[in-house]
Amino acid sequence: MMTVFIDVDTQLDFLFPAGALYVRGAEKVVPAIAKLNRFAASAGYPVISTTDAHAEDDPEFRSWPPHCVANTWGQRKAQATLLERRAIVPNRECRLEIEGAQQIIVEKQTIDAFQAPNLLRVLERLNAGSCVLYGVVTEICVLHAARGLLRTGRPVTLVADAVAELDAANAQKALEEIRAAGGKLATVSEVCAR
């Protein structure tokens, strides 16, 4: 089984003040996320990066303001989080062409990446065992990713200093839920010292 790093929704619309759904302070975790992605690549661990790829009239926009519309500036990942060899897996049934990729970008249209048709397929293709998880937003998309991974029986380590939240109290509840379900917390320095 392979250790896999999972970088959740590190997109311009979430990370920076000019973004459509900016998470206050999220830009401060970009260097930590970049370090984790580079560490994974240098150690030979694949990085799965989830990204929102919404249609202009996406049903999610009934709950959230429009954000990460496919092929817009805000939908792009932060440059610092990108690895050289990457593959994009669209949010539809498709052939997985991920061989040789350091980073596999899995597109999704809901807050739960496991509702996308390809995340589980990618995890299975990579023979993913333990998962190192980080990104935005702690109490929303990161929490859903953790829940999904833990449901599959995969060990999860959430990197607590490489996540950003909208609400500190809800983020704390999310971390407690992840720990109660068997997940572990670690720091960037602990993960990169492996």
Q: What tens digit of pLDDT does each residue of 1-40 get?
A: 899 999 999 999 999 999 999 999 999 999 999 999 999 9
Name the residue range of residue 93's domain: 2-132
**What CATH number does the domain containing 82 carry?**
3.40.50.850
Residue 143 lies in a domain: no
Domain count, the chain: 1
Residue 181 lies in a domain: no
Pairing of the two strands 103-108 and 86-89: parallel
Whole-model pTM over 0.75: yes
Q: Which residue has the tokens 């993913």?
A: 128
Which mean pLDDT values do the consecutive 10-residue runs of the chain (194 residues) have? 96 97 97 98 97 94 94 96 97 93 97 96 96 98 98 97 97 97 97 89
Query: What single letter denotes the amino acid at residue 19?
Result: G
Tell me what pLDDT residue 177 has.
97
Residue 194 lies in a domain: no
Tell me what pLDDT residue 194 has.
73
Tell me what pLDDT residue 1 has.
82
Q: Nearest 5 degrees, angle CA 136-CA 23-CA 47? A: 25
Residue 100 lies in a domain: yes
Residue 158 lies in a domain: no
Residue 144 lies in a domain: no
Cis peptide before 136 (omega within 30 of 0): no
**75-97: buried (b, 16+ CB within 10 Å) or exposed (e) per residue?**
bebbeebbbeeebebebeeeeee
Residue 182 lies in a domain: no
Residue 151 lies in a domain: no
